[in-house]
Amino acid sequence: MTEQTERVALITGGSGGIGRSIALRLAEDGIAVAVHYSGSRERAHDVVDRIHGIGGRAITVSGDVADETAMAAAFAETTERFGGVDVVVHTAGVMPLAPIADMDLAVFDEVQRTNVRGTFVVDQLAARAVRSGGAIINFSTSVTRLQPPSYGAYAASKGAVEALTLILARELRGRDITVNAVAPGPTDTPLFREGKPQAAIDAIAGANPMQRLGTGADIAEVVSALAGRARWINGQVLYVNGGAA
Q: What is the 3-state secondary structure (H, E, C) of the chain?
A: CCCCCCCEEEEECCCCHHHHHHHHHHHHCCCEEEEEECCCHHHHHHHHHHHHHCCCCEEEEECCCCCHHHHHHHHHHHHHHHCCEEEEEECCCCCCCCCCCCCCHHHHHHHHHHHHHHHHHHHHHHHHHEEEEEEEEEECCCHHHHCCCCCHHHHHHHHHHHHHHHHHHHHCCCCCCEEEEEEECCECCHHHHCCCCHHHHHHHHHHCCCCCCECHHHHHHHHHHHHCCCCCCCCCEEEECCCCC
Does some domain include residue 3? no
| Domain membership flag for residue 245 | no
| Average pLDDT of the residues of the chain | 95
In a domain, 54, yes or no: yes
pLDDT tens across 25-65, in order? 999 999 999 999 998 899 999 999 999 999 999 999 999 99
pLDDT in tens, 135-168: 999 999 999 999 999 999 999 999 999 999 999 9
Residue 71 within any structural domain of the chain: yes
Of 37, 151, 154, 239, which residue is the catalytic one? 154
What is the tally of structural domains in the chain? Answer: 1
Catalytic site includes residue 154: yes
Q: How confident is the model at residue 2 (pLDDT cuts 50, 70, 90)?
A: very low
Q: Is residue 152 part of a domain?
A: yes
Question: Is there a domain that residue 207 lies in?
Answer: yes
Query: Does 226 fall in a domain?
Result: yes
CATH number of the domain that residue 116 is part of:
3.40.50.720
- Tell me if 174 is assigned to some domain: yes
Residue-number span of the structural domain to which 173 is assigned:
8-240
